[in-house]
Chains A and B, each alone.
Chain A
Amino acid sequence: EDQVTQSPEALRLQEGESSSLNCSYTVSGLRGLFWYRQDPGKGPEFLFTLYSAGEEKEKERLKATLTKKESFLHITAPKPEDSATYLCAVQAAGSGGSNYKLTFGKGTLLTVNP
Chain B
Amino acid sequence: NAGVTQTPKFQVLKTGQSMTLQCAQDMNHEYMSWYRQDPGMGLRLIHYSVGAGITDQGEVPNGYNVSRSTTEDFPLRLLSAAPSQTSVYFCASSYSMVYGDTGELFFGEGSRLTVL
Contact = CB atoms under 8 A, between A and B. Distances in A.
A100 B48 CA distance: 8
Instruction: Give the interface residue-count category, chain A.
Output: 20 to 34
A89 interface: yes
Interface in B50-72: 50, 56, 58-59
How big is chain B's contact interface, by range?
Answer: 20 to 34
Q: Across chains A and B, which 10 residue pairs bring their CB atoms closest together, nearest first?
A: A43-B107, A104-B42, A104-B43, A34-B103, A32-B103, A46-B104, A106-B42, A100-B97, A99-B98, A44-B107
27 contacts: A31-B103, A32-B102, A34-B103, A34-B104, A36-B105, A41-B110, A42-B109, A43-B90, A43-B108, A44-B43, A44-B105, A46-B104, A49-B101, A91-B102, A99-B98, A99-B102, A100-B31, A100-B56, A101-B48, A101-B58, A103-B42, A104-B35, A104-B42, A104-B43, A105-B42, A106-B41, A107-B42
